[in-house]
Amino acid sequence: MENGGTEKIGEVVLDYTFYPGEDYYCDGASEDELLSIVQSREPEQYPEEIQKRHSWEILYHLSDLRENIVEWLPIDKKSKVLEVGAGCGAVTGSFARRAGSVTCVELSRKRSLINAYRHKDCGNITIHVGNFQDMEPTLPADYDYVFLIGVFEYAQSYIGSDTPFSDFYKIVKRHVRQGGRIVIAIENKMGLKYWAGCREDHLGAFFSGLEDYPGGGAVRTFTKEGLEGILRECGEEQIHFYYPYPDYKFMTMVYSDRYLPQVGELSNNLRNFDRDRMLLFDEKKVFDMLIRENLFPLFSNSYLVVTGEALPTIYSRFSNDRARHLCIRTDIGQYAGGQKYVRKMAANPAAAEHIRRLCDNYRLFAARFAGSGLSVNRLEEKHTPEGEVYAELEFLEGADTLEKLLDECLVRRDEAGFRALFGRYQKAVEWKAQEGIQDFDLTFPNICVQADQWTVIDYEWTADSLSPADLVRRALFCYTQEDKKRKNDPIVQKIMADMGMDAETAAALQEKETAFQRSVMRQKDGTYRLAVTDVRHLIGNQAVPVQEFFRMPRRRMQIFEDFGEGYTQEHSYYMENTHLDGDRIQAEIVCKPGVKGIRLDPLEEPCLIRILRVCYGGHELTGQQLAKALVTNGETLGEGRKAGHKTEEKDGMHTVLFAHHDPNINVRLDMLSAQGGTDYTAAPSVLVIEAQVALLSERMLEDIQEKIGRKHFWFQR
C-alpha cells in the first residue's frame, strides 16, 4: 500500500494519508492467523476459534471479554471517540456499537486490516494508519473521549524528550473537548500479581517493574501516585482511579474509591495466559489483608484512570464469560444526591430474555417469602430510551452478608451464634417449599443482614427439582469450598455431620455444581462456550509453587528478534512443539524483513547442547560462514574456546555447555550478509536449527567443573 488514499473494508474506512508504506512492527504468523480468522469467520464464532487454537495471541486479540474494560462507561450516540493505538480492534467494537463516531489511530496496516474486517459492518469507524505524531496535527479537538488502552506505557518509545509521558499526554489532551474525558488503562507496576510470582507483562521478566526497570527498555508502567503525578503536572484536576480486577485485559469487576472490594471477593488470581509463573503466596489471602488495611488501591494489578467529571457508576461486574443468552452486567451507581442503586442489564443482546426472567423471579419469590422474615431485594423492570430492558434494584446500605456473620462466629468460637444463624437460614429455605420452584442462589453471601432484617439479593437462577435440604447442603458446600479453613473448622464439621454431609455427599454435590456450571456455558445451538480459565489450561502455561518452578521441564522455545536495537521481550514470542521425542529439538523460524539477528532460548536450565544443523533460506550453513554468524552465551567444548566465543570447528557444528538457567543461541543474519555480499535481512526466509540436548543437574555441573578445572567456569543458581 502506497502513501495516501483510502481503502474500504465493508463499511469501515482506512485512511493511509500518513502511512509510511511498511509496517515497522509485526507479530508475524500470529497476525496472519488473526487476519485469516476475521476474514472468514463472524464475531460470534471467535470463541470457537479461541477454543480450537489454544493460542494466547488469538485469545488476547479476539476474546469479547477484552471489551469489558470500556463497556461500562457512559458512551452514547452523541459521543465522539478517539482510540489511540487501536491495534487489532479488541475494544473498538464496544465503541462502534454505542458511539456516534469512532476514530482509530494505528501504526500497523495489518493490525488495522484485522480491526476493519472484524468490524466491517460498522459504518461509524475510520482507521487512520500511520504514526500518531505525524497525523496528530490534523485531528480535531472536539472528542468526547480519548482512549489510551495499553498505550500510555509506550510513550517514551515514540516521544523523543526528557519527559515523554507528560509530553505525550499534553499532545493527547489537545484533542479533548471542554468537559470531555481521557481514559487510560495500564498495569500497576506495584500490582500484587508481580509480588506473587507473575512476570512483568511487557518485558517477561520477574520483578522488573518492582525493581523500576533496571534493564531499561521502551516500556514504563507506574504506581498510583506516579501516574497521578504525571496527570497533575499536565494540568488535570479531576482524576478518578478505577481498579479493574483481575486486570484490565480480562476484567470481570471494576472497583472505585467510592466502592472498594470486600474481604473474600478477590479469588480469581491465576490469569497467566501468556507465560509460566511462580506461586510465591496465596494472593487471595494477601488481598484480604490489604483490603482490611485499606491498602488495596496501591496494589491493584491494573488501573483505569478517567479524567473529567465523576462517573455515576462506582462498581461494575461482568458475568459474560458464559453462553451468549445468559451474559449480564451488574452496575452499582450513585445518583447526584448520593443515593446508590443496582442495575442488571444484558451484556449481550441475546440475554434480554434472561433479564426479563430475572424480573419474573423477583415477583415469584417476593410473594413466596412474604411473612417468612426473609425479604427479597426490591426490583423494578425498566427500559432504556432505545427500548432495552434492564432491572433496577435497591442498594442495601450498611448491610453485612450472612457469610460474613458466620465467619465472625467462627473467629469468636461462638458455636451457639453460628447455629442460631444457620437455623434461621434453614427455616427461610423451608418456607412454603412445597410451592416447587427454589431460589438456587439462596446461599450465605447472597443474604444481606441489617439488624434483624434479612434480604436475599440474588435470584438469577432457579431450580424445581431440589428439596430444601438439598439447597441447605449446597449452601454449606459452597461455603466450605471458598475457604479451606471453614471446611476444617470443628463447628462447621458438626453442622455438616448434622446435615448428613459425608465424603460421598460432597462428591455428589461437586458433580451437581460441575453440571450446573456446564449448563451456564451451553449455547442455544447446543455448543458450549469455554470459560477463559479453561482456555488458560489449554494454552498450557503453568502456575507453579516457587519450590518447583526452576525444576519444571520446559517444552517451549522462546524466539527473540533483533531489528537493529538488540534483543527485547517486546520482540519475542514462543514456539510450541520444538522439543521432539528423546533428546532432540528443532525450530523452523520465519525471519521477517529487517531482522538482523535471531536468538533462541531453548531451555531455562543448565544443559549441554550439540548443534547438529543450521539452515537458512534452504542453504546449509557450515564452516567459516557458520562460525562467524553463530554465537552463544555458553562454553564451547574444545581446545582454546571460552564462553561466548564463536566456534572455529571446520564444519561449524559443536557442543556447548550452558552452566546457568538462561541458555541462548544467537544467529547473526547481518554477519551472513557481511560475509557473502547478499543482504539476508531484506526478505523473509526460514531459519532451521536442529540440536541434541542433555539436561545437567547441579552435581553433574560440579563434576564437570572439577574435571576441566577452569577458573572461569561457574554455575549460576
415-430 vs 468-482: helix axis angle to the nearest 10? Answer: 140
**Taking the CA of residue 658 as centre, how many other CA atoms within 13 Å lie in the half-sphere pointing to its CB?**
24
Q: Is 104 helix (H, G, I), strand (E, B) or coil?
A: strand
Sequence-ordered strand ranges (E) for 271-337: 277-279, 302-307, 313-319, 328-334
**pLDDT of the residue at 34:** 96
My answer on whether omega of the bond before 214 falls inside 30° of 0, hence cis, is no
Asked if the 328-394 domain carries CATH number 1.10.10, the reply is no
Asked if 459 and 439 count as a contact pair (C-beta separation under 8 A), the reply is yes
- How many other C-beta atoms are found inside a 10 Å radius of the C-beta of residue 11? 14
Give the DSSP H or E segment for 383: strand 379-383
Q: How confident is the chain (717 residues) per 10-residue block, as mean pLDDT?
A: 81 96 77 95 94 92 97 97 97 98 96 97 97 95 97 91 95 97 98 96 92 88 98 97 98 97 92 89 96 98 97 97 97 93 96 97 94 95 93 93 96 97 96 84 95 95 89 95 89 95 91 92 92 87 78 70 84 77 81 88 86 85 82 75 44 76 88 64 77 85 72 40
Torsion of CA 169, 172, 174, 178, to 10 degrees: -90
Q: Long-range contact list for 355-359, CB < 8 A, 24+ apart?
A: 355/328, 355/389, 355/390, 355/391, 356/381, 356/389, 358/391, 358/459, 358/460, 359/389, 359/391
Nearest to 440 by CA among 342, 345, 516: 516
In the chain, CATH 3.30.200 covers 328-394
Question: Coil, strand or helix: which one is 518?
Answer: helix
- Total residue length of the chain: 717
User: Cα angle at 466 between 461 and 472, to 5 degrees?
Assistant: 85
The per-residue pLDDT for 683 is 62
Residue type, 687: L
Please work out, in degrees rounded to the nearest 5, the angle formed at the alpha carbon of residue 287 by the alpha carbons of 286 and 289. Answer: 65
* Reduced DSSP (H G I as helix, E B as strand, rest coil) percent helix, strand, coil of the chain, to 5: 35, 25, 40
> For residues 20 and 515, what is the distance between their CA atoms, to the nearest angstrom?
54
- In angstroms, the first-to-last Cα distance of the chain is 51
Give residues with Cβ within 8 angstroms of 167, minimum separation 6.
155, 159, 161
Which pLDDT score, from 0 to 100, does residue 659 have?
A: 84
Given this model, what pLDDT does residue 717 score?
A: 33
Residue whose C-alpha is closest to residue 56's, from 304, 302, 276: 276
Strand, helix or coil at 194?
helix
Q: Which helix (H) or strand (E) holds 68?
A: helix 68-71
CATH, domain 401-503, list 1.10.510, 1.10.275, 1.10.357, 1.10.3470: 1.10.510
Question: Which three three-digit cell numbers place residue 440?
Answer: 438456587
CA-CA-CA-CA dihedral for 398, 403, 406, 411, to nearest 10: -90
pTM score above 0.75: yes
Looking only at the bridges linking them, the beta strands covering 447-450 and 453-456 are antiparallel
Residue carrying the nine cell digits 442488571: 344
- Ranges for all domains in the chain classified under CATH 1.10.510: 401-503
Tell me the C-alpha to C-alpha distance, in Å, between residue 508 and each of 57, 250, 515, 522. Answer: 38, 32, 11, 21
Is 82:56 a contact under the CB 8 Å cutoff? no
